[in-house]
Structure 1
Amino acid sequence: MRTALRTALAAALVAGVAATPVLAAGSAFAAGTAPAPTATATTAPAAPAEAVAPEKAPEKPAAAATTAPAPAATAPSAPAPDADVLLRTVKLGGGLTAKVYDKGTQHRYFTATVLRGSEVLGELKAGGGYAKSDTGVFSGYAVTLDAEGGVTAVEAGPEHATPVRTEKLIGGRTAKIYKLKDRNHIAELFLDGRKVDELHAAGRSVAAWDVSTEYFVLNPDGTTYNWVGTTAPFKHGFYRLVDGTVLEVRFDGSTTGLQSVDPATGKGSGFTYPSGHGRKVLFYGKAVVVLETTGHFAAYVPGAARQSAPQPYNMETGKVDHCLPQSIAYAIGAGTQAQLTMTTKGPQAKIVTAGDDKVIGVLDRAHPSLPASAGIVARIDGAFTATPSLYTKVEGGEAKGSSTPFPRLPKGCSVEGVAPAGQAQGGGSDGTGAQGGQTSVVPRGGVAAGAESGAGEGSGTLLAVGAGAASLAAAGLGFTVLRRRTAAARA
């Protein structure tokens, strides 16, 4: 057998066939597996398999290629149309920073969130439907955002400014005006020697609103306006000012905007919205308008012969409805406030807790007095006359109460259900339906020119109270201007 194997190897070498498969075949044969010829026939083609292996090598990279695009699936997608896009973070003075966002809405505008560390102090808005610039005061710095998304800040404290003058305001407050730089003035407001407010007019006019419905506007150049009343009721629609200017109030789903309208064509100038951090001062011709975040607005026309609240205006008829409810509010003591409203259907008085407007009771012709359980005395005298009054007493014992007349309707408006002459109810009314004219605003100081002084009636000044006045406006009721209180009636 060995001789036969040697003979086979020699023959294979002569023929040029590799000896390894033959040896493997011989080993297999020796192990008792398949015969060598069969093994040789099946393994001979295996040699080219090594050549095929390199072709399979790319399979791993190919597999990797199919998974490579996976990171693209997690990459940020394009921002939604209404999404905020952070443009930059700006370091300001005093340790403040501002994050500026681009609002990708149809009417593009910018917002700036002002922070001190991680604490959010407020937000500014400019461009689009908002003003060309928006300024807020944060930690002693006046921060301004413009319509292009630019942010600037300047020190805003009076200690950095130059005193200019001191003004005495209508409601008893004092305003100290300072100049920080050109078109950047400051006003500190004091009442009985106590500081109650601070305004910063850095590139735009700003306004303060007192609890007496008194408005004070400070302009960037240091000039001011000061008036009382003339606030429109909060109701969507058109209003006309005393100089003929027509304004439109509209709610857009998130806030209330204001625009001027040409009464001849109905074309508007474009809505402006109050900024998120407070009221906004707007100018329409000569009219100075203060727009609140609640949608209420007050108007003053410098030099006008008379002043009054904006009146509802019918664009189709071109007429004004003058007989709006007239309202005032005042403190009656013991943390309580009275809100008096005169309408064409008679008087209404709401007694609330001052500050939070929690209603204690509502009085009208059907319910002219509070029940004894209320703990205070309040009743409408002369409810069916043209000159009703509210009597209140909040202290017990020998303390005296007082009476305050309801505001009168504008001239030419009558009260329904007025008792005939000789049948007047309380308050000394003559029971007639005659109505006096609306008392005019009494501007002081630099805004007194051309203003008409209201006729005084007795002594003492009656001023409305802020929180209650806002509530009355929210109920769709107008405000009267500065009025005079008659002598208090004694209980």
Structure 2
Amino acid sequence: MRSALRTSIVTAALAGALLAPAATALAATAPQSATTVTAAVSANDRYAGEPVYVGNGMVAVLRNEAEGPEAWIRYVGDQWKPGDNYMVHVVALVSRQQTSAEAHGASFELTKAQTASPVLVVTTKGVAKSYPLPKGKTGQVCSAEKTQSIGAGMNAKLSMSPDGPRAEIWAAGEDTAFRILDRGFPALPESAGILARIVNPSGAAPVFEYKTQGGDTTLGRTSFPALPKGCKPNYKVTEEQATDKPAPKPQPTATASTKPASAKTAADVKPQTGAQTVVVPQGGVAAGAEIAAEDTDNSITLAAGGGLIAILAVLGAAWTARNRTARNRG
């Protein structure tokens, strides 16, 4: 019984371990729900606004903030109703800089764009309808833009407003921007296939860098248009610090030693504190051991040999005298 229980637990754990990566991958590739997208949009006020359905499956998102009056035309499908998600994809944009556009069989025009009460006029099959934008402040336009060709049939619409630099990357023949870069998302990932980034996005003079072709193609650089005089950014201007400068070389200190590593002074020599490596015998041969340990030159060897010869000579003489005495007695 216990064996079967243990087997079932191990099987369940193994199944969970095998299924976890698949579940994670499925969650990562699953499309975002309307609720998720709406929540993400609500956190980014730059693209939020007042949505109105204008027909042909399109919603006009009306805005009139610091960057001026805008109407973002987004395709949402024929079943859209107020309260549904409207952040699907952009098909057109009208603003003070570009007051007219066309998409999906309809034309759009932003009228009274320089006043505090701009109006969006949508014309479909000869029938025009008007949609007032939120009230704004009349006065100076605090935005500027320019278009830059970046190669491979692509253009970048670069704009500067109190919200900071913005780059819309458009491919030829497409009615929606390929990518949009701003201060919150200043660079494309490597997986995009091209290089496009805003350098120093929160600085006083941001620069757009791009490279859409491989080989020996050089990196393109162009400045964003400056804010009109009298306009100020609504964020703190901070210049990025370069981090690719070489590290300074270490300087020699006053206490650094300049002598070679092999040279040693008396101060460098320390008394030996390790265990003695010469084995010193105990007892009657201790003196001889000390000599062997300390004096190992040839003079000691010769002296020892001479002493041995003298001892042998004395013993020989004594032995001879003893034999003579024994013979005389006999």
Same fold (TM over 0.5): no
TM-score, length-scaled by structure 1: 0.24
TM-score, length-scaled by structure 2: 0.34
Q: Choose 1 or 2 for highest CA Rg.
A: 2
Q: Which structure is higher in strand share?
A: 1
